[in-house]
Structure 1
Amino acid sequence: MKRSARVIPLVLGPLVGVLAIAEAHLDAEFARHASAIWGPGLLLGTGIALATWLPLAGTLAAVACFPLGLLVGAPDIGGAGLIGLIGVVAWSAWRLPARRALLALGVAIAAGVVTSLLAGQTVWEAIFQPAILLPGWLLGRLSRTNAERAAELTRLAAALDAERERSEHAAVVSERTRIAREVHDAVAHSVSVMTLQLGGLRRQLTDPVHRDVVLGLERLGRRSVEEMRGLVGILRDAGAAGPPAPEPSLARASELVADVAAAGLPVHLEVDGDRGEVPRLLDASAYRVLQEALTNVLRHAGPAPTRVTIRYEPSRVSVSVVNGAGNAAPPATGGHGLVGMRERVSLFRGTLRAGPEPDGGFAVRATFPTGAAA
């Protein structure tokens, strides 16, 4: 129950007590018995206030104003007393379980009826008091039922939300597991087989240049397998997928350039500016853009002289890959490399320009904002 609801009996109790005493002095019929009405009025107000913490005990104390009024010679509890009794009976019906609430109502009705008959009042007076107490009690029970129903609906809604979240999580886990299985069983297996075959081919080569080229391809294949195994481990949320592959970062650009150089691509790396603090996700995306651009050069331009430039500035990081004149390397129309690069750059509201150079070469230039613009 909200604490704010406790204000009701705390305010009603003193108010009823004051009204009962005021009625005793202002009503001509009660004025002759003013001193006798003080006691029942104060008891009624005190009982209502007590019902804030002890609903049943407070109701019984308030109802005791009936026999107390009879003992001290008070003619009736008056209109203020009836208001207070209706209020405390409704409060107990709201706060108490059904049986204890019925007990409070029964005691209130019995006290009113018996007191009326012993005081020599009419049968109508004996009927009138229960007739006005019962609607107050029913109103309290209805309020309690509605509150319980609302609480149950809230609980069911929370349970449904939790179940929906569990179902969505299970679906995500299932899909991630399926993707991980496909990557492991198909892609990683194929790359592993190709890497093993490259190793066998390297051992049969006698030309040192050719051996170095195949060795670079073999090393690149092993690294690709490591990265795919790391991806499988992430998708499966398990740490048993082998040692994690190094995180993609522009700090490893020299390793990437060395790998493609070993594969036969003459490439030069230039890093300009102080690296400083680069956001982790931005750093990984820039590395992947560089990796994809160099892969495109290998696929479509052959051994074309290529220049890689990484520039760190206070508000942005720029990556450019430009291959030599006469060896344009257009993006593959049937793949997703260029689309993936644009998506990675757009995540940080950067810019990507990919196209032929005036001298006949091809360039990919990506810029990633690192300040507030990102």
Structure 2
Amino acid sequence: MPASLSLPLLKRLPPGLWTTLAWSAAAVQPIVEYVVTPPGRAYSLDFPRDGLDSPAARALLAVAFVLVLAGGAVLRRRTSTAYALVIAGTVASTVAWRQDEIPPLQFLAVDLALCYIAAVRSRRNSLAAAAGALGVLACYFLLRLLAGDDSGIAPEPFLALTVAVAWLIGNSVYQARAHTEELYARAAAQAVTAERLRIAREMHDTVAHNIGIIALQAGAAARVVETQPARAREAMLTVEKAGRETLSGLRRMLGALRQADPDQDQEGTGEDHGRARASLQPAAGLSDVERLAETATAAGVRVEVCWQGRRRPLPADIDLAAFRIVQESVTNAVRHSGAASCRVRVDYRADELAVEVSDRGKGGGTSTDSGYGLIGMRERAALLHGDFTAGPRPGGGFLVLARLPIPAMTEAEEKAGAR
């Protein structure tokens, strides 16, 4: 439990604070061990006890602390400037102690700052920062060679290795973050595309069908308005009904699009709230096939509906997709086939739903037709992992066949769907 509680705190600490703490610990340790504590057996050639006796050395060490503190404070906002301040403070500390090399612990703060830069900045900027650190190490190494000091093992190659490791770690974080953002952007784009296609299918299936019925009925009414007023009146009533259904479907779709957050329903009151919720309910299903057949029959094409298998509740997406396929197929038969009738067969099988719409007309399309209707029906079936075929029949007419797999439903789900 303590570890799980401390982890968020560690994540909340800014990177500049980690850099400052690491540098300060490495800078304070020799002061405490070799200057403040009483003389003992321990001593250091890099940190002599009298190394800070002069006021200039103390002032320079104080300047080094100020530089690193300032760099840690602005590391998140001005990474390049902060990085330069940390390196300058590290160099100033070595000068204050009259050292000819940078202690590895002192250089750890530079590595931390470089790791952060590589994680948040572009590769070009992080490589420039790494080159700056390597340049400082190279200068120390060359100065010692020019001075003829060949004592001991040079720490610069080891420090250069830590620079490379720090950059690699930070760059890995940068790449992982960029890959994650790309995945999120790709998922968002795919979601937008899928939603656009869904809206396009709904608009086509609802509006195009009803507009087609309106056009046919209005034309029929215009032809018989003088000779058969009663039939013209009946046709116009059908036009009115189809128009109201179209408006209702558009309002329902626009309401769903404007519903960005379910909690927004709470902003409405009373009747508005209930109307908004009601408008978002599923619009259609196979239970509306009979009504669809009556409308198409009134438009001049007799539709025969044949139910096979045990009719039972279906998942909402399958129910809607099946109805839309029937609706679009019947609409095409009314508008393009020229047939006097068409046949709709809905077969409830054990593990799938088969929908077949056929007519004996002239066959207004092919299986490769680029019309939005066939594309929409094929997409609906594909989204449900079903099969879809459409094309002219060998004996004449047009046939649409869709098979939609039905997932197994529990008895409780069936009862809930029945209610």
TM-score (structure 2 length as normaliser): 0.48
**2:282 aligned with 1:282:** no
Deviation, 1:273, is 1.8
Match of 1:211 in 2: 233
CA, structure 1 residues 288+156, in 2 after alignment: closer, same or farther (shift >3 Å)?
Answer: same
Q: Aligned residue for 1:343?
A: 379
Which one of 98, 105, 108 corresponds to residue 30 of structure 2? 105
Q: Which residue of 1 aligns with 2:365?
A: 331
Deviation at 1:314, TM superposition (A): 1.2
Note the 1:237-276 alignment, pairs <5 A: 237=259, 243-244=279-280, 246-276=282-312
Q: Does the residue aligned with 2:39 lie in a helix, a strand or coil?
A: helix
2: CA distance, partners of 1:94 / 1:127 = 26
Change (3 A) 1:229 1:107: same
> Quick one: which amino acid aligns to residue 257 of structure 2?
L
Q: What SS does the corresponding residue of 1:247 show, helix, strand or coil?
A: coil
Q: Deviations over 1:67-87 (max 9, x none)?
A: xxxxxxxxxxxxxxxxxxxxx
Shift of 1:298: 0.4
The Cα offsets for residues 246-286 of structure 1, whole Å up to 9 and x where unpaired, read as 42322322222222122222112122222334333222222
Shift of residue 359 of structure 1?
4.4
Q: Distance in 2 between matches of 1:228 and 1:314?
A: 35
Against the structure 1 CA distance between its residues 213 and 110, is the aligned structure 2 distance closer, same or farther, given a 3 Å change threshold? same
Q: Which stretches in structure 1 are left out of the alignment for 5+ residues?
A: 4-92
Alpha-carbon RMSD across the aligned residues, in angstroms, is 4.9
SS of 1:311 mapped into structure 2: strand
| Corresponding position of 2:396 | 360
1:187-215: CA deviation from partner (whole Å, max 9, x where unpaired)? 89x969x79x959x699675434433343
**Aligned mates of 2:304, 2:359 — CA distance in 1:** 10
One-letter code aligned to 1:269: V
Output one character per residue of 1:18-40: Cα deviation in whole Å (capped at 9) or x when no partner: xxxxxxxxxxxxxxxxxxxxxxx
The higher radius of gyration belongs to 1
Kindly provide the CA deviation profile for residues 296-328 of structure 1, in whole angstroms up to 9, marking residues without a partner as x: 11012346122211111111101111224xx33
Check the 8 A contact 1:226/1:244 in 2, yes or no: no
Structure 2 counterpart of 1:220? 242
Quick check: 1:227–1:244 contact (8 Å CA) kept in 2?
no
Contact 1:311 1:319 in 2 (8 A): yes
- Inter-partner Cα distance in structure 1 for 2:33 and 2:102: 10
Letter paired with 1:331: G
1:317-342 CA distance string (max 9 Å, x none):
01111224xx3332285733223322
SS at match of 1:225: helix
Change (3 A) 1:275 1:95: farther
> Structure 2: which amino acid aligns with 1:208?
A
What do the CA deviations read for 1:55-100 (whole angstroms, capped 9, x no partner)? xxxxxxxxxxxxxxxxxxxxxxxxxxxxxxxxxxxxxx97826445
User: What residue number does 1:115 align with?
Assistant: 39
Q: Does the Cα contact within 8 Å between 1:217 and 1:259 map onto a contact in 2?
A: no
Unaligned residue ranges in structure 2 (runs of 5+): 4-17, 49-98, 122-172, 266-271, 409-419
CA distance in 1, matches of 2:312, 2:406: 11
Q: How high is the sequence identity, in percent, across the aligned residues?
A: 30
**Secondary structure of the equivalent of 1:231?**
helix
* d(CA) in 1 for partners of 2:233, 2:282: 26
d(CA) in 1 for partners of 2:21, 2:382: 61
Query: Partner amino acid for 2:35?
Result: A
- Give the TM-score normalised by the residue count of structure 1: 0.53
Offset at 1:167?
12
1:135 aligns to what? Answer: 103
